């Protein structure tokens, strides 16, 4: 095992990784920007180094600077957390070149899964169901129109380098395609530096269900069940739960085994997530693979009893997975709510100083946060300030605990989405498990006005 690890991240996830390192007796090195000098991850780490100005381009995304700190402090490995450099193949490659272990998969696998077209190709090859569509770039609108005719409208136009819904559009007719193709191509080129477009059949009212996998460097791979992440707004997840109330055990097992087949085919290592779209008939289709630890990993930890960061560290250090598939338990129901510093009416970020902060406690309540009374929320970073995770014997009990915990959650000085969360967890359609990806728009759009 490593004796010292650098955490190339900030906020709650940096604190989360430090906590597991401490549990395992691993020394920790934090890096921070000028805006984060008083942050919790800086206090918790064994050592902490200022790496630059508040803007991520001048600090948390400065690969050379982070590598330099790792070398100076003799850190043997870097945990990238999520976001920032976590899915940057250049950073993974640079670590490797400099003799530092990147805690994640191989750089080439990150690059392969970072391209939607390449990942679709690999998955189809592996025998994993992908959404009907094409796995080659569309060179122009004429080719797009011909392809759409074959697939059948409605189709979804997507950017191969895409993320966050940018360059992505549902198209219902050839006329609409003629109007929108080039605009999406341009947006993709601007945002991602790559205007490569492809298309898929549009799946209506899907659910977003993802499978957590763990793969060691010795060919062993496990699935850790699923998370349902359908409650989201503008591609920003708001609520995640495990298990999904929509899946039956047969589909669950099939999806898990499919995810393992996918991971083995690409020689995946470390923790990863295979995202699927699941239609009304429970047919599932590969959507994307995330090659990092995810924000919502705690719900999986709660039902399996595993520490995913510990497993990541062990895998990266070359250990063999200590479990077989039948050892992976699935106990109870866990729900995560993301607490955002945002105006619940306009959904705009609400930066400022948190004058009072108190999280709910209780046996079934877990808080992941790096803010406290007196912390400031700056506009430089993601507005997610905390995650509230609850566990219950079943979904209903977990929802009850969640509502109670939200009632006891105190944040003053800035606005948060807590009022929205309360509405989600008291909504009859949520209670009934009708959690499709349009939930917030469909059921809470009107409520937004008065909130
Ligand atoms: C889709 C889809 C329907 N059909 N693809 C949204 C994020 C991007 N990475 C993929 N997304 C979607 N792809 C086809 N062929 C619907 C979505 C989608 C969605 C997916 C997961 C979670 C929330 C979503 C919200 C809107 C649209």
Which distant-in-sequence residues (6+ apart) come within 8 Å of 336 by Cβ?
A: 239, 240, 241, 296, 298, 299, 387, 388, 389
Q: Which residue minimizes the CA distance to atom 26 of ligand 1?
A: 437
Residues with CB under 6 A from ligand 1: 131, 156, 165, 168, 200-203, 206, 208, 232, 235, 277, 287-288, 437
The torsion angle over the Cα atoms of residues 121, 125, 130 and 135, rounded to 10 degrees, is 20
Helix or strand (DSSP H, E) at 445: helix 439-450
Residue 224 CA to ligand 1 centre (angstroms): 23
- Measured on CA atoms in the order 284, 285, 286, 290, is the torsion positive or negative? negative
Residue owning tokens 């009072």: 356
Which residues belong to the active site? 292
Q: Give the model's pLDDT for residue 240.
A: 98
441 C-beta neighbours (distance < 10 Å), count:
11
Counts for the chain of helices (H) and strands (E), in that order: 15, 20
**Ordered mean pLDDT values, 10 residues apiece, the chain (451 residues):** 98 98 98 97 98 98 98 98 98 98 98 97 98 96 97 97 86 97 94 94 94 98 96 93 97 98 98 97 97 98 98 98 98 98 88 97 95 95 97 98 98 97 96 90 66 45
Nearest ligand 1 atom to alpha carbon 163: 9
Residue 156 CA to ligand 1 centre (angstroms): 9
Q: Global pTM?
A: 0.96
Nearest ligand 1 atom to alpha carbon 229: 22
Residue 445 CA to ligand 1 centre (angstroms): 19
User: Where are the alpha helices (H) located in 153-227, listed in sequence order?
Assistant: 174-192
């Amino acid at each position: 095992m490593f004796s010292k690890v650098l955490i190339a991240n900030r906020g709650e996830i940096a604190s989360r990784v430090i906590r597991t390192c401490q549990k395992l007796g691993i020394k920790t090195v934090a890096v921070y920007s000028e805006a984060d000098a008083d942050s919790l991850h800086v206090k918790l780490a064994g050592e902490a180094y200022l790496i630059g100005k508040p803007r991520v381009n001048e600090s948390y995304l400065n690969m050379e600077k982070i590598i330099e700190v790792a070398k100076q402090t003799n850190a043997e490995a870097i945990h990238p957390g999520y976001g920032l450099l976590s899915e940057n193949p250049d950073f993974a490659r640079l670590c490797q070149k400099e003799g530092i272990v990147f805690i994640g998969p191989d750089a080439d696998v990150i690059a392969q899964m970072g391209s939607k077209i390449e990942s679709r190709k690999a998955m189809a090859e592996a025998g994993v169901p992908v959404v009907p569509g094409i796995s080659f770039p569309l060179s122009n609108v004429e080719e797009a129109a011909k392809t759409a005719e074959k697939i059948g409208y409605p189709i979804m136009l997507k950017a191969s380098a895409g993320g966050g819904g940018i360059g992505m559009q549902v198209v219902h007719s050839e006329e609409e395609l003629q109007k929108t193709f080039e605009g999406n191509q341009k947006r993709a080129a601007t945002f991602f530096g790559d205007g490569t477009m492809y298309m898929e059949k549009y799946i209506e009212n899907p659910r977003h269900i993802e499978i957590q996998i763990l793969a060691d460097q010795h060919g062993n791979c496990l699935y850790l069940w699923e998370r349902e992440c359908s409650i989201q707004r503008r591609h920003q997840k708001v609520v995640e739960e495990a298990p999904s109330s929509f899946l039956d055990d047969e589909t669950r097992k099939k999806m898990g085994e499919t995810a393992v087949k996918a991971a083995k085919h690409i020689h995946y290592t470390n923790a990863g997530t295979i995202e699927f779209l699941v239609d009304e008939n429970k047919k599932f289709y590969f959507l994307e693979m995330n090659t990092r630890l995810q924000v919502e990993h705690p719900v999986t930890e709660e039902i399996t009893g595993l520490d995913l960061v510990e497993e990541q560290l062990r895998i990266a250090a070359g250990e063999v997975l200590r479990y077989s598939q039948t050892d992976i338990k699935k106990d109870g129901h866990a729900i995560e709510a993301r607490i955002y510093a945002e105006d619940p009416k306009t959904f705009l970020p609400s930066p400022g100083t948190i004058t009072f902060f108190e999280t709910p406690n209780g046996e079934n309540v877990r808080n992941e946060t790096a803010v406290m009374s007196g912390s400031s929320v700056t506009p430089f970073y993601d507005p997610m300030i905390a995650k509230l995770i609850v566990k219950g014997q079943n979904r209903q009990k977990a929802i009850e605990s969640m509502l109670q915990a939200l009632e006891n959650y105190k944040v003053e000085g800035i606005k948060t989405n807590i009022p929205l969360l309360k509405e989600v967890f008291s909504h009859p359609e949520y209670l009934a498990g009708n959690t499709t990806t349009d939930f917030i728009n469909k059921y809470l759009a009107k409520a937004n006005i008065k909130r």
